[in-house]
Amino acid sequence: MTVRNPADRRNGTIVMAISATTRLSEFIANVRELPTEVSEKAKLHIADTLACIYAGSASEAVALLERVCAPSDDNAPFIAPGLGRWSDPALAAMLIGVCAHADDFDDTSEYSMNGHPSAPIVSALIPTAVATKASGMAMLRAYAVGIEVACKLGSAIGTAHTRRGWHTMSTLGTLGAAAAAAHLRGLHTGQTERALAIASSFAGGLLGNTGTMTKSLHCGRAAQAAYLAAALAEQGFSAGADILEAENGFLAALTDRSKDRIDLSGIGDVWELVSPGLAVKLYPCCSCTHLAIDGAIEIQRRHAIDPERIEQVTCAVREECTHYLRFPNPATGIEGKFSMNYTVAVALARGKVTLDDFETAALGHDDIALLMPKVHMVVRPDEKDAGEIEVILKGGLRLTAYRDVPRGSPETPADWEDIIGKLRDGLARAGRLRPVHPETLFAGLREMDKQSEFLDLLRT
């Protein structure tokens, strides 16, 4: 492992090199402006996350969590969109976070973080924005900083992290959300370093809980931890120095130690929101199913297949995806989100995949039950071939479709029409505290940088 503040000899003089933790904290504390392209991307992804929060507020996971938490209070200041108001901001952050990831509909960083960055970050920022009366522009800047931290750390640490079973939303997401909350509070470098150290002690969450309600709780706990970490650091709460590379710090504890340093040299140069960018989910299920869903919908659109004529369906996938898609016969709606058999069967039978398809009652439809055993995954030797789907009909006719990236990915990005569609669907599911005038919300999100107070958007 790297020794804290390692010495470097230059021209005969010993220079103490800055630690990665300090370098990161300086970046978080000192961002003052965003490039226009970054700001525009931030607006879209915050709006997309709000859509997920409103939709998730109607989930069973959130209903169960509410039963064991302090009750909502209509007069309390901290808003959980679609859900209610609470007097405890950290609790509000947790509830918002569970809403944000309950449907597995939130965006992903496929190339850097290898997980879901926006959900924990936005969920921590909403109560922080209330506490600080933050403007829309301040919210955009803090969000972009959080994304940059979570994703650049993901690139620096690499796959050694997830190979050990850690869910990056709970680990890198916690640090990214803490960075965002620290920035929105205006913490200086030293305070920010403490916030990261506090957040690192909350980092955790196991991939073994994939396909259960606990996966959404990972997001809630990350948001709660981030809110607390930044608030405590502001109050002077003590924490360890150089936590990322310290002995028994983040890198040592949460990786296989194949990395001996954290390279953050490119942070803030090319922003992650621009390149490589985040993927917006257009289907509320595991992203490993999206290429096959796209292909199945394309085949159904081109050929209008009667599902009863289908003999076999083969979906080519990356090897990694077989570990996530582990429910060939899902028993719950959540398990259905991690089932290639179910999601592709729905796509072929319905020509679309929606939030309603992941209500547990939907699993029992006869036409879907007929198709599910016919769907198979295959790992191709060349993973570039992942993304092909072949449907074999009775009589031997073979129909194929291929995509190298799913719709909504940075290469084929979602637009505001897609996001507003998700917002409409989410608002329709939300039972409480939703805007009276949705069109005002949609317009305000597109001009978030002009909002004197971000919270005004949630009051419309």
Q: What is the pLDDT of residues 328-361, one digit of tens each?
A: 999 999 999 999 999 999 999 999 999 999 999 9
DSSP state of 324: H
Provide the b/e sequence for 157-186 (b: ≥16 CB within 10 Å). beeebbeeebbbbbbbbbbbbbbbbbbbbe
| C-alpha–C-alpha distance, residues 243 and 19, integer Å | 9
Cα(58)–Cα(304) distance, rounded to whole angstroms?
33
Host H or E run for residue 316: strand 310-317
How far apart CA 357 and CA 344 sit, in angstroms, is 12
Single pTM value for the model? 0.94
Rounded Cα distance, 49 and 42, in Å: 11
Contacting residues for 214 by C-beta, under 8 A, at least 6 apart:
none
Output helix, strand, coil percentages for the chain, rounded to the nearest 5: 55, 10, 35
Distance in angstroms (rounded) separating the CA atoms of residues 79 and 90: 11
What DSSP character marks residue 288? Answer: G
Assign 274 to helix, strand or coil.
Answer: coil
Alpha carbon 124 to its chain's center = 13
Of 75-79, 253-257, 316-320, 364-368, where does mean pLDDT reach its minimum? 253-257
For residue 322, the one-letter residue type is T
Say if residues 77 and 130 touch (Cβ distance below 8 Å). Answer: yes
H-assigned helices in 158-289? 160-163, 168-185, 189-202, 213-235, 250-254
For 343, residues 6+ apart whose C-beta sits below 8 A from its C-beta are 283, 285, 286, 289, 292, 293, 336, 337, 353
Give the H or E element holding residue 56. helix 36-56
Q: In which band, very low, low, confident or very high, does the pLDDT at 17 lie, cut at 50, 70 and 90? A: low
Tell me how far apart the alpha carbons of residues 347 and 299 are, in angstroms, rounded to a whole number: 10
pLDDT of 420 over the 60 cut? yes
d(C-alpha 113, C-alpha 309), whole Å: 41
Res 386: pLDDT: 79
Query: For residue 18, what are its two tokens?
Result: 């800055």
Phi and psi at residue 315, to the nearest 5°: -115, 120
- H or E stretch covering 402: strand 398-402
Residue 385 is predicted with a pLDDT of 63
Residue 271: φ, ψ to 5°: -70, 140
Domains and CATH numbers, the chain: 20-282+413-458 (1.10.4100.10), 287-402 (3.30.1330.120)
Helix (H) / strand (E) containing 344: helix 340-350
How many other C-beta atoms lie within 10 A of the C-beta of residue 105?
28
Between the CA of residue 438 and those of 134, 188, 425, 444, what are the distances in Å?
22, 37, 11, 10
Distance CA 137, CA 249 (A): 34
Neighbour tally for 242: CB within 10 Å: 22
- pLDDT surpasses 60 at 3: no
Express each pLDDT in 267-310 by its tens digit.
999 999 999 999 999 999 999 999 999 999 999 999 999 999 99
Residue pLDDT, tens place only, 170-197: 999 999 999 999 999 999 999 999 999 9
Q: Report whether pLDDT(11) > 60.
A: no
Q: Which amino acid is at 382?
A: D
Classify strands 375-379 and 84-86 as parallel, antiparallel or unpaired. unpaired
Residue 31 DSSP SS3: coil
DSSP state of 71: P
Q: Are 92 and 126 in contact (CB under 8 A)?
A: yes
pLDDT number for residue 18: 82
